[in-house]
């Protein structure tokens, strides 16, 4: 963490918050290619009875083959990754995670900015209307 969130809660300064947001934007601009999802190794059986993967006592399955899974606009997708691209995709998955966490920080800082700028009263929890139960 680059800065102390607790300090800003007690003494938020708009200029400070703006600087931190600028830093986040710079870090996002410096990210390489990104890709959502996660990759997992898969081990498979080919079905050939003479193959080592079908050995009755010590089967050695084929693999690992890497499968990428991600959801985009509600649509889940699963694909096998070319062996020579596994590391490249890993880097993109890492960059995507970094991207998302930077966005989360940006949102948190923006809410703090708004808290300083827009509101005349301290935050209230929204009232949940729980009708008082009558005891007969
Ligand atoms: Zn096999």
For residue 32, being part of any structural domain is answered with: yes
Q: What is the pLDDT of residue 110?
A: 96
Q: Give residues whose Cβ lies within 5 Å of ion ligand 1.
A: 46, 51, 53
For residue 119, being part of any structural domain is answered with: no
Binned at pLDDT 50, 70 and 90, residue 3 comes out as: low
> Chain-wide mean pLDDT for the chain?
88
Tell me the two tokens of residue 96: 């995507």
Cα of 42 vs centre of ligand 1, distance in Å, is 14
- For residue 43, the tally of other CB atoms under 10 A from its CB is 12
Cα of 110 vs centre of ligand 1, distance in Å, is 55
For residue 113, being part of any structural domain is answered with: no
Q: Would you say residue 23 has pLDDT above 60?
A: yes
Distance set, CA 116 to CA 18, 21, 104, 126 (Å):
12, 15, 19, 19
Helix (H, G, I), strand (E, B) or coil at 11: coil
Cα of 40 vs centre of ligand 1, distance in Å, is 20
Is the distance from CB of 53 to CB of 46 less than 8 angstroms?
yes
Cα of 41 vs centre of ligand 1, distance in Å, is 16
Whose tokens are 């870090």? That residue is 27
Cα of 107 vs centre of ligand 1, distance in Å, is 50
When mean pLDDT is compared across 22-26, 46-50, 92-96, the lowest value belongs to: 46-50
For residue 109, being part of any structural domain is answered with: no
For residue 57, being part of any structural domain is answered with: yes
The Cα 14–Cα 67 span in angstroms is: 45
Q: What is the pLDDT of residue 135?
A: 54
Domain that holds residue 67: 12-98
Binned at pLDDT 50, 70 and 90, residue 60 comes out as: very high
**Average pLDDT of span 37-56:** 95
For residue 41, being part of any structural domain is answered with: yes
* The model's pTM: 0.72
Over pLDDT 90: what percentage of the chain? 74
When mean pLDDT is compared across 38-42, 46-50, 116-120, 122-126, the lowest value belongs to: 122-126
For residue 50, being part of any structural domain is answered with: yes
Q: What total of structural domains would you count in the chain?
A: 1
**Average pLDDT of span 114-119:** 88
């Amino acid at each position: 963490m680059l800065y102390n969130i607790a300090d800003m809660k007690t003494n938020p300064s708009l200029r400070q918050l703006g600087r931190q947001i600028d830093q986040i934007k710079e870090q996002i601009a410096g990210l390489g290619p990104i890709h959502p999802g996660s990759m997992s190794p898969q081990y498979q059986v080919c079905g050939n009875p003479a193959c080592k993967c079908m050995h009755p006592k010590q089967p050695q399955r084929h693999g690992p083959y890497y499968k990428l899974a991600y959801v985009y606009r509600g649509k889940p997708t699963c694909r096998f990754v070319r062996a020579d691209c596994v590391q490249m995709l890993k880097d993109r998955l890492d960059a995507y995670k970094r991207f998302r966490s930077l966005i989360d920080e940006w949102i948190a800082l923006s809410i703090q900015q708004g808290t300083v700028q827009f509101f005349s009263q301290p935050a209230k929890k929204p009232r949940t209307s729980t009708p008082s139960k009558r005891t007969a």
